[in-house]
């Protein structure tokens, strides 16, 4: 159990237990930043609709396309060491992804390699991004960060056109449990020239018949990680929130982080409710992300604009 808590990339759910989901989120951005494609391999064990799936969301030539490709649950194969998930002809591992998808005639095929992952700091108190909540059993949803940033190699044929990802950037995270929160905000961006990376999640978290508000965030300046969160006595204030714009300020002790996110390139993905992949949500995959980070103790100030980021607002 502790091995899995400290290594969220590993399979967390028993596929023989009904009513659960698990999904890995692999995001790839080309060096030119004009092509972004995310793949979400996973499975649902809900009774009567057990299946594996690969979702994708793609922006190319300013056109956004998404899809949900179903497979029999028996097509889901997992190897723990070294980590590997196979679904149909597709493979997802710590070293690379190999994709061969035909979604009603829309084809994506090829392979992309990964460099060493930029992992987050871990401790006994905070074995994952969820902090001590990672130890609590039977939560509706668990979240894990696998890589804040890594470099890419290789290419994909997308509708017959070869798209090169050499020198681009990747990101990987995980979700598993029964349901996504009814209300949440999610943001990710690592396309900053300085080498910085950002992650933010604000959510109403269901637990034991009630819910509580919480948030987690990481700002990595390329050399050092700064973490914000409810379990770290931090706080946040939402200044502006619409489906297309977020302004939020985060703080923890002497450090402050101001974020402004403008959504672009939105399309649909499918999220779980009670383990069933049935909730249609919208994700922006070409969001413009601005940040201002201030450390009042050291006097450090970092400000930058990045693109493309990923951004979701659900239930607000």
- Listing DSSP states for 115-175 in one string gives ----PPP--SS-SSTTGGGGG-TT-SEEEEEEEEEEEEEEEEEETTEEEE-TT-EEEEEEE
State the first-to-last Cα distance of the chain, in angstroms, to the nearest integer: 35
* Tokens describing residue 52: 């594996």
Residues in the chain: 316
In 3D space, the residue among 170, 215, 132, 134 whose CA is nearest the CA of residue 37 turns out to be: 170
Which domain covers residue 225, as residue numbers?
2-314
User: Residue 55: beta bridge partners?
Assistant: 40, 68
One digit per residue, the tens of pLDDT, for the chain of length 316 reads 788 999 999 999 988 889 999 999 999 999 999 999 999 999 999 999 999 999 999 999 889 999 999 999 999 999 999 999 999 999 999 999 999 999 999 999 999 999 999 999 999 999 999 999 999 988 899 999 999 999 999 999 999 899 999 999 999 999 999 999 989 999 999 999 999 999 999 999 876 667 778 999 999 999 999 999 999 999 999 999 998 999 999 999 999 999 999 998 899 999 999 999 999 999 999 999 999 999 999 999 999 999 999 999 999 8
Q: Are strands 21-29 and 184-189 parallel, antiparallel or unpaired?
A: unpaired
Element (H, E) at 34: none
Could you give the number of structural domains in the chain? 1
- The b/e string for 78-97 (b: 16+ C-beta within 10 A; e otherwise) is eeeeebebbbbebbbbeebb
Q: How far is CA 280 from the centre of its chain?
A: 17
């Amino acid at each position: 159990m502790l091995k899995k808590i400290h290594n969220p990339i590993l399979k967390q759910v028993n596929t023989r237990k009904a009513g659960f989901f698990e999904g890995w989120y692999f995001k790839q951005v080309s060096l030119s930043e004009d092509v972004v494609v995310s793949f979400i391999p996973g499975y649902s064990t809900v009774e009567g609709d057990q299946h594996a799936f690969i979702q994708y969301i793609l922006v190319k030539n300013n056109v956004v396309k998404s899809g949900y490709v179903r497979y029999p649950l028996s097509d889901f194969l997992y190897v723990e060491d070294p980590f590997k998930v196979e679904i149909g002809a597709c493979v997802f591992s710590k070293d690379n992804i190999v994709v061969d998808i035909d979604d009603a005639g829309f084809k994506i095929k090829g392979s992309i390699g990964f460099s060493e992952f930029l992992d987050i700091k871990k401790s006994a108190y905070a074995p994952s991004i969820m902090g001590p909540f990672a130890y609590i059993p039977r939560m509706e949803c668990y979240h894990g960060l696998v890589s804040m940033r890594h470099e890419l190699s290789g290419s994909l044929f997308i509708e017959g056109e070869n798209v090169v990802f050499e020198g681009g950037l990747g990101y990987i995270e995980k979700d598993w449990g029964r349901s996504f929160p009814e209300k949440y905000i999610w943001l990710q961006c690592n396309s900053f020239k300085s080498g910085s990376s950002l992650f933010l999640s604000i959510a109403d978290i269901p637990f034991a018949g009630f819910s509580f508000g919480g948030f987690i965030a990481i700002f990595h300046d390329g050399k050092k990680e700064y973490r914000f969160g409810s379990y770290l006595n931090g706080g946040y204030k939402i200044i502006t929130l619409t489906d297309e714009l977020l302004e939020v300020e985060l703080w923890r002790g002497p450090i402050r982080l101001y974020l402004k996110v403008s959504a672009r390139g939105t399309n649909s993905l499918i999220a779980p409710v009670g383990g069933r992949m049935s909730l249609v949500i919208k994700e922006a995959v070409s969001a413009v992300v601005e940040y201002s980070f201030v450390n009042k103790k050291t006097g450090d100030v970092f400000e930058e604009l990045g693109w493309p980021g990923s951004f979701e607002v659900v239930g607000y």
